[in-house]
Amino acid sequence: MFPLTCAVQNYAWGKIGLDSEVAKLVVGGDPVAVIERDKPYAELWMGAHPKGDAQIKDNRIAQTTLGQWITHYPACLGSKVKDAFQGQLPFLFKVLSVNTALSIQAHPNKELAATLHAQFPEHYPDNNHKPEMAIALTRFQGLCGFRPVDEILGFLQAVPEFHALVGRDAAEELRSSVGDEVRTGRALKKCFTKMMSCEKKVFVDELNELVKRVTQEGAAGKDTSSSNGDLLLRLHSQYPGDIGCFSIYFLNYVVLEPGQAMFLGANEPHAYIYGDCIECMACSDNTVRAGLTRKYIDVNTLCEMLNYKPASASSKIFPCVPDPADPCVTLYDPPVPDFTVMKIQVPASVKDYTVASVDSASILLVIEGDAMATSAAAFSDVTLTRGSVLFVSANESVSLQVTSQSGMTLFRACSLL
């Protein structure tokens, strides 16, 4: 094991200065780090991705980055992980601090990713899938999956500007499909495709009309919830004239309380709106966008690929489970081999805690608390504080001597094949 200094991404949508959980963790892990008051701190990348390979914080180690270390000592991945993922760390672990919404998007499955990469390498840079998991650190707001049909029908009725983009035929088809799952999926696809295929002038006019109406109703003290008014105005202020503003009538608005998670499997439309979270994903950059973006939108691919299965917002919260082997561990174990996330909560009463070995390389992030970490294989002990990031090799266990009074909270990413 050894400590890492991780890459910060200052994307414009990030929370500013010390409002950002990313910035707070950076200062915690490195007291001399300088946080600029007006700068966005969007993402902390804990992994070996070439665009943000973590630096090894121990100058006795010849390799300077985690990626270089893994290339030299692939056995640190664990034999199964090394073979299954061609000697690469299969996941990228992150912290995100979201101030303004990120684009609505979906990620292809492996099969589609390979096809898209072969056809359009400029838009789809690799042939891998990109399942993602977000675990809230603070109250976290996002969009995820298609709403139950009765909610979409309600908006079609209450929001004439939305109805105009979908059109009467498609809306009627959706209404008459209720009760027949296959027909509903088809009708939903037709409705969404109609909206996404609208000419820009048409949807911009409808959007301006809608924003004007909702603003006036709000000013007159009327309840605008039947038009999802607050969210509409918020997204419109961030992305004026963007088709993604209408997607709030199709997609679930999901709010995660700290510790709750959302798993974004293949073809699931989603967007992050506001808040801080831990994120873990498979190593890939394949993203198909659907709005709230100034980037390229591939409408055909998007509308073909999406998962048109309506479901409630509450069903989008991914169930975490207690680890039967360790009462301090909560498992977030998605149905993909690439990664599993564990939340480790060491209670105040426990002063000596062992981070159990697994047959996979792990990355550990300290969210709260202090400890001295020791391992038989390490060059030296490592002092852990809030924001410390530790790389742990496969089959290496780490002893924590907890020094903080109120216990410790850590997140761990690994691959449990």
Binding residues for Zn(2+): 105, 107, 132, 270
Strand pairing report for 371-374 and 382-384:
antiparallel
Binding site members: 105, 107, 132, 270
The residue among 132 and 370 lying less far from Zn ion, judged by its C-beta, is: 132
Q: At what angle do helices 149-158 and 168-176 cross, to 10 degrees?
A: 140
Instruction: Write the CB contacts of 313 (distance below 8 Å, at least 6 apart in sequence).
Output: 144, 147, 252, 253, 254
Catalytic annotation on 37?
A: no
Nearest distance, CB of residue 264 and Zn ion, angstroms: 6
Cβ proximity to Zn ion, 65 vs 105, nearer residue: 105
Can you tell me whether residue 375 is helix, strand or coil?
A: coil
Stated as kind and residue range, the H or E segment containing 262 is: strand 261-264
Distances in whole angstroms, Cα of residue 225 to Cα of each of 104, 158, 247, 249, 350: 22, 10, 15, 12, 48
Nearer residue to Zn ion within complex by CB, 105 or 247:
105
Q: Which of residues 268-327 bind Zn ion (CB under 5 A)?
A: none
CB of residue 283 vs Zn ion: minimum separation in angstroms?
13
> Please, what is the minimum distance in Å from the beta carbon of residue 84 to Zn ion?
23
- DSSP class of 65: B
- In the complex with Zn ion, the residue whose CB is nearer, 328 or 341, is 341
Report d(CA 31, CA 147) in Å as an integer. 45
How many residues bind to Zn ion according to rule CB under 5 A? 2
Active-site residue, selected from the candidate residues 147, 289, 386, 412: 289
CA distance 273 to 97: 10
Residues 132-161 that bind Zn ion (CB under 5 A): 132
Q: Are 80 and 417 in contact (CB under 8 A)?
A: yes
Degrees, nearest 5: CA angle 311-188-288:
85
Positions 227 through 256 that interact with Zn ion (CB under 5 A): none
The pair of structure tokens assigned to 327 is: 């009462």
- Taking contact as CB under 5 A, which single stretch among the options 125-133, 142-150, 294-302, 309-317 is the one that binds Zn ion? 125-133
x/- track of binding to Zn ion for residues 93-122 (CB under 5 A): ------------x-----------------
Which of 31, 7, 5, 18 lies closest to 97, judged by CA? 18
| Between 286 and 393, CB nearer to Zn ion | 286
242: left (phi over 0), alpha (psi -120 to 50) or beta: beta
Q: How far is the CB of 281 from Zn ion (least distance, A)?
A: 8
Which span sits near Zn ion by CB under 5 A: 14-22, 124-132, 139-147, 391-399? 124-132
404 class by beta-carbon count within 10 Å (0-12 exposed, 13-18 middle, 19+ buried): middle
Please state the closest distance from residue 266 (CB atom) to Zn ion, in A.
Answer: 11
What is the C-alpha separation between 290 and 272, in angstroms, rounded?
13
CB 105 to Zn ion: min, Å: 5
Longest dimension (CA), the chain: 69
C-alpha count within 13 angstroms, C-beta hemisphere, residue 417: 16
Q: Given the complex with Zn ion, which of 184 and 301 has the nearer CB atom? A: 301
CB 397 within 8 A of CB 375: yes
Can you tell me the distance from the alpha carbon of 175 to that of 149, in angstroms, rounded to the nearest whole number? 8
d(CA 170, CA 191): 5
Q: CB-wise, 56 or 101, nearer to Zn ion?
A: 101
Task: Please state the closest distance from residue 16 (CB atom) to Zn ion, in A.
Answer: 23
Catalytic residue positions, numbered: 289
What is the binding site for Zn ion (CB under 5 A)? Answer: 105, 132
